[in-house]
């Protein structure tokens, strides 16, 4: 059984790397909204997906074809993550159906909570494994891993928002930056 799973994983990796190795490139990056974390408090995070010209990636509800990004987090025990939030999508149609997604780039939002009992002076490290798809007349799957590291705030140190957070969100489909993103989460 284990052997079969290994073979599946290998084939899947080959299938994805074949697409990724093509001329067409789509990339991801992970961002934290603050410069450090405080144990027991939430940290806003953003996953950015860049989409090549004339292609699109899919929304949470992809419509009649395709698939939404699949994101899994490998992080220390006790770290909690919420549901990923998508900005307003575009609608695409052809003779076959209607699809929902994003051109150029999209930023998905979430929060992680790092437990209160983490040792002092540690860095948070979380590895996000992402499988996503881009399409136009054909579809290409991609997969990648991105790592988020964040230092713990020192006692009495204020946690501050990173400089480019609002700009990141606005470019990624959240028209009014974080304020709009917070409303969407309500």
Binding footprint of another protein on the chain (CB under 8 A): 5, 7-9, 11-12, 14-16, 19, 62, 64-68, 70, 94-97, 131, 133, 135, 137-141
127 or 171: whose CB is closer to another protein?
127
Least distance between another protein and beta carbon 86 (Å): 15
Cα–Cα distance for residue pair 174/17, rounded to 1 Å: 31
What token pair was written down for 66? Answer: 């395709």
Cα–Cα distance for residue pair 160/11, rounded to 1 Å: 44
Least distance between another protein and beta carbon 72 (Å): 11
CB 111 within 8 A of CB 163: no
9 or 160: whose CB is closer to another protein?
9
6 or 160: whose CB is closer to another protein?
6
53 or 95: whose CB is closer to another protein?
95
Phi, psi of 150 (to 5 degrees): -150, 130
**Residue 114: closest CA among 42, 44, 162:** 42
Least distance between another protein and beta carbon 185 (Å): 24
Least distance between another protein and beta carbon 17 (Å): 12
Least distance between another protein and beta carbon 152 (Å): 34
11 or 162: whose CB is closer to another protein?
11
Cα–Cα distance for residue pair 99/173, rounded to 1 Å: 17
CB 107 within 8 A of CB 47: yes
Tracing tokens 């969407």 back to the chain, one arrives at: 184
């Amino acid at each position: 059984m284990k052997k079969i799973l290994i073979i599946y994983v290998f084939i899947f990796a080959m299938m994805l790397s074949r697409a990724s190795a093509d001329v067409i490139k789509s990339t991801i990056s992970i961002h934290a909204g603050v410069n450090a974390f405080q144990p027991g408090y939430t940290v806003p995070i953003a996953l950015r997906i860049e989409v090549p010209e004339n292609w699109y990636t899919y929304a949470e509800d992809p419509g009649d074809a395709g698939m939404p990004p699949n994101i899994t987090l490998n992080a220390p025990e006790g770290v909690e993550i919420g549901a990923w939030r998508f900005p307003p999508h575009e609608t695409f149609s052809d003779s076959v159906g209607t699809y929902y997604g994003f051109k150029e780039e999209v930023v998905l939002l979430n929060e992680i909570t790092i437990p209160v009992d983490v040792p002092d002076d540690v860095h948070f490290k979380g590895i996000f494994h992402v499988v996503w798809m881009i399409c136009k007349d054909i579809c290409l799957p991609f997969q990648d891993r991105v790592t988020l590291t964040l230092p713990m705030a020192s006692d009495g140190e204020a946690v501050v928002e990173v400089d480019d957070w609002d700009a990141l969100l606005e470019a990624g489909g959240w028209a009014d930056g974080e304020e709009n993103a917070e409303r969407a989460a309500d």
